[in-house]
Amino acid sequence: MNMKAKMIFLAGIFVLCSCKHQNGRMDLCADISTDKIDNLVDEENPNEDIDSIENFDLFYAKFERDSIFQISRIVFPLKGFCSNFVDEYNEMKHQDTVTDFYIINNEDFYLKKGSWQYIPPINTSNTDLVITVTREERNVSVSISSKTVNFLMIYEFKVIDSKWMLVYYVDSFL
């Protein structure tokens, strides 16, 4: 066996040995701690001065128009749901699953960074849309639905380290 083949073989053994096992099976979600994400999202910094929090309206205007800024202000894996994966979710929701695009953990759905697609600005002059914004000091929820099509989109933003971050997202054709 040549040196390159040995290195590949040893790397494969290392990967297999470093997987965590649970109940006699490899746990694919062992290293994806969605609990840590949920805790990060739920924690508030008691030392954070309200005046140091960025202005939500300025943040949201940039979030809608700048694809690079948008992805930089999302907490991944992003909890919520995406209708693109509804069939997979219905089939796999009762078992923890990790793919290139999403994670299912305890029946909660999380989008991975690689599956995020830039969402351009919503045409707020469209009279078919119903847009509801609920604001709290450190949380803002934006809900967008249609009067004619069974469509719902929800963004939930939360302040983390004085910056607004998207922490929950749903897009669903009902």
CATH code, domain carrying 137 = 3.10.450
Tokens, residue 174: 């009902």
Of residues 99 and 6, more confidence is placed in 99
Amino acid letter at 38?
Answer: D
pLDDT band at 22 (very low <50, low <70, confident <90, very high): very low
Does residue 24 belong to any structural domain of this protein? no
Q: In the structure encoding, which two tokens stand for residue 31, read together?
A: 């290293």
Q: Which residues are registered as beta bridge partners of 74?
A: 166
Cis geometry, peptide bond prior to residue 121 (ω within 30 degrees of 0): no
Lowest mean pLDDT among 18-27, 94-103, 140-149, 155-164: 18-27
Would 17 be classed as within a structural domain? no
Q: Is 63 inside any structural domain?
A: yes
In percent, the amount of the chain with pLDDT more than 90 equals 43
Residue 19 domain-assigned (yes or no): no
Does residue 49 form part of some domain?
no
Q: What are the C-alpha distances in Å from 31 to residues 46, 77, 85, 138?
A: 29, 12, 22, 29
In-domain check, residue 16: no
Domain count, the chain: 1
Tell me what pLDDT residue 1 has.
46
For 117, list phi and psi in degrees, rounded to 5: -120, 135
Give a yes or no: residue 60 inside a domain: yes
pLDDT for res 151: 87
The residue among 68, 45, 75 whose CA lies nearest residue 137 is 45
Query: Residue 36 in contact with residue 103, Cβ under 8 Å?
Result: no
Domain limits for position 155 = 33-41+54-173
Quick check: is 7 in a domain? no
Q: Which of 9-23, 42-56, 96-110, 149-163 is predicted with the least confidence, judged by mean pLDDT?
A: 9-23
